[in-house]
Amino acid sequence: MKFQHKVVFITGAARGQGAAEARRFVSEGAQVVLADVLDADGEALAAQLGGHAIYLHHDVTSDHSWSAAIAETERCFGRCDVLVNNAGVYRPAPIEETSEAMIEKMFKVNQLGTLLGMKHAAASMKKTGGGVIINISSIAGLRGFANAVAYSGTKWAVRGMTKVAAAELAAYGIRVNSVHPGFIATDMLKENTDEVNRIGADAAPLKRHGTPEEVATLVAFLASADSAFITGAEVAIDGGWSI
Ligand SMILES: NC(=O)c1ccc[n+]([C@@H]2O[C@H](COP(=O)([O-])OP(=O)(O)OC[C@H]3O[C@@H](n4cnc5c(N)ncnc54)[C@H](O)[C@@H]3O)[C@@H](O)[C@H]2O)c1
């Protein structure tokens, strides 16, 4: 039970990769806070996970919501040991069809949300002597990804902010790493055409999409003491797509 007595806060945990991570952490003994704006899905998952998880309605784009969510985590479980900044939105479009509303939405959820999460979780972790932050970026944050200029901009920012935070927070015993999934079989792939998703599998040397459970295994490793000497790293989990 690697995460016994550990408290893990996961954004975007109602479905997809965040939900798989929540199941994984609970199976290894953690107490998990599921945070999302999809209340019905989040509450149903928390009920499945029994007394080991609570669901919080939490919009990652709001500084006030972050204050309240971390305060509630400390009230319920006493501490916050791990933050997984997983919430994300993806709206692909060619550059000239990228609207201001799309740019703002992806900036706020993917980039601002990740920064606010690090700000509030780090303040909590400093009080208990350390912790781990895992920021979910993308292969779109490792190389050029056509038809995703706004999304890619936010995911490159997540990669860069991870390194700043790793440098700044190491002195407080807080490790920060970024994870870069390739095509992972979740609802997010519905934003792509079937053709793009087919190419996503074909262009990966391992010739398939990944599963949320495979990403959860990597996130659990990065959250555990097994990765104690890893900080500021960027880890791709993409079947080789980004090579
Ligand atoms: N699926 C992929 O192929 C893929 C590839 C690379 C990176 N990613 C990244 O992985 C992460 C997880 O995505 P997923 O594949 O599970 O997709 P998903 O769409 O199933 O999950 C995203 C979750 O984020 C939540 N969310 C959106 N806006 C929010 C907000 N303002 N506050 C709180 N929660 C919010 C959604 O409600 C949803 O539950 C995202 O950051 C995504 O960008 C996904």
Indicate the residue type of 212. Answer: P
Using CB atoms within 10 Å of the CB of residue 74, give its burial: 0 to 12 exposed, 13 to 18 middle, 19+ buried: middle
Distance 13 CA to ligand 1 centre (A): 8
pLDDT of residue 189: 98
- Nearest Cα to Cα of residue 140 among 84, 205, 192: 192
- Nearest Cα to Cα of residue 115 among 176, 55, 185: 176
Going along the chain from its start, the domains and CATH numbers come out as 7-237 (3.40.50.720)
Rounded CA gap, 234 and 70, in Å? 26
> Along the 243 residues of the chain, how does pLDDT read in single tens digits?
899 999 999 999 999 999 999 999 999 999 999 999 999 999 999 999 999 999 999 999 999 999 999 999 999 999 999 999 999 999 999 999 999 999 999 999 999 999 999 999 999 999 999 999 999 999 999 999 899 999 999 999 999 999 999 999 999 999 999 999 999 999 999 999 999 999 999 999 999 999 999 999 999 999 999 999 999 999 999 999 999
DSSP SS3 for 157: helix
Task: Report which ligand 1 atom has the smallest distance to the Cα of 16.
Answer: 16
- Atom 36 in ligand 1: which residue has the minimum CA distance? 12
Distance 16 CA to ligand 1 centre (A): 7
The whole model's pTM is what? 0.99
186 lines ligand 1 (CB under 6 A): yes
181 lines ligand 1 (CB under 6 A): yes
